[in-house]
Chains A and B, each alone.
Chain A
Amino acid sequence: EPEVTQTPSHQVTQMGQEVILRCVPISNHLYFYWYRQILGQKVEFLVSFYNNEISEKSEIFDDQFSVERPDGSNFTLKIRSTKLEDSAMYFCASTLGGTSYEQYFGPGTRLTVT
């Protein structure tokens, strides 16, 4: 069964460093997302991506964040200069679109900023 994959599973970085989180969505899906979950809290939407551009972003997704689909399979989230409060689980998700609204999530990347 196709699944969304994410790498790395855990990333530790120092404050101010840049990180890139990687995702491979399900191959025939058209819409891609990043969500964030701070430990013990709810899952929050960051950004949606369709047709090679951002379709929507939340207030959390400020200038420090960027997304890219550099090739036909990968979907990346870059945090330019990490802050302590960026420590969270980051989930990538994808959906087929059209009348299919189910989003399938990757296993997540736990980002720890020290």
Chain B
Amino acid sequence: AQKVTQAQTEISVVEKEDVTLDCVYETRDTTYYLFWYKQPPSGELVFLIRRNSFDEQNEISGRYSWNFQKSTSSFNFTITASQVVDSAVYFCALVKREDYKLSFGAGTTVTVRA
């Protein structure tokens, strides 16, 4: 079975600071996919990024970047130059190949203060 752990329950920063969210996962599968979702106060779940287990290249997309380390089973997510609109709960999730069922972490609440 898959397990996703987000050890940080809450993070509070001042606008323009960088925020890094930690995610550690467990799976026996060799092929899997990792995701970050954002849940703003309005409640919907918004897909942000996906990373395949066979591609450890880290990327940047606008103010978002992620650091995938297969050796430590970690998939950390960074918001650069945070803004008040980034205030939300962020969920890390995992799905194994040919399963399609998402296993979510407990979420990290990010509060960005003006």
Pair B100/A97 contact, Cβ less than 8 Å = yes
Q: A104 an interface residue at 8 Å Cβ cutoff?
A: yes
State whether the Cβ of A65 lies closer than 8 Å to any Cβ in chain B. no
B-side interface residues, number (CB < 8 Å): 22
Inside 8 A of B101's CB, which chain A residues have their CB? 33, 45, 48, 56
Where chain A touches its partner, the secondary structure class is strand
Q: Are A102 and B35 in contact (CB under 8 A)?
A: yes
Q: Which B residues are CB-close (under 8 A) to A110?
A: 43
With A42-B91, A101-B50, A101-B95 as contacts: A91 and B45 at CB distance below 8 Å: yes
- Interface contact A108-B50, CB-CB below 8 Å: no
Total interface residues on A, CB under 8 Å, equals: 26
> Could you tell me if A89 and B43 are in contact, using CB atoms closer than 8 angstroms?
yes
Closest chain B CB from A23 CB (angstroms):
13
Q: Verify B100–A31 contact, CB threshold 8 A.
A: yes
Q: Does A15 sit within 8 A of B, measured CB to CB?
A: no
Report how far A102 CA is from B100 CA in the complex, Å. 9
User: Which residues of B are interface residues toward A (Cβ below 8 A)?
Assistant: 33, 35, 37, 42-47, 50, 91, 93, 95, 99-107
A sample of 15 more A-B contacts (CB under 8 A), given A105-B37, A107-B42, is: A33-B100, A35-B102, A41-B106, A42-B105, A55-B100, A56-B101, A89-B43, A91-B45, A101-B100, A103-B95, A103-B100, A104-B47, A108-B43, A108-B44, A108-B45
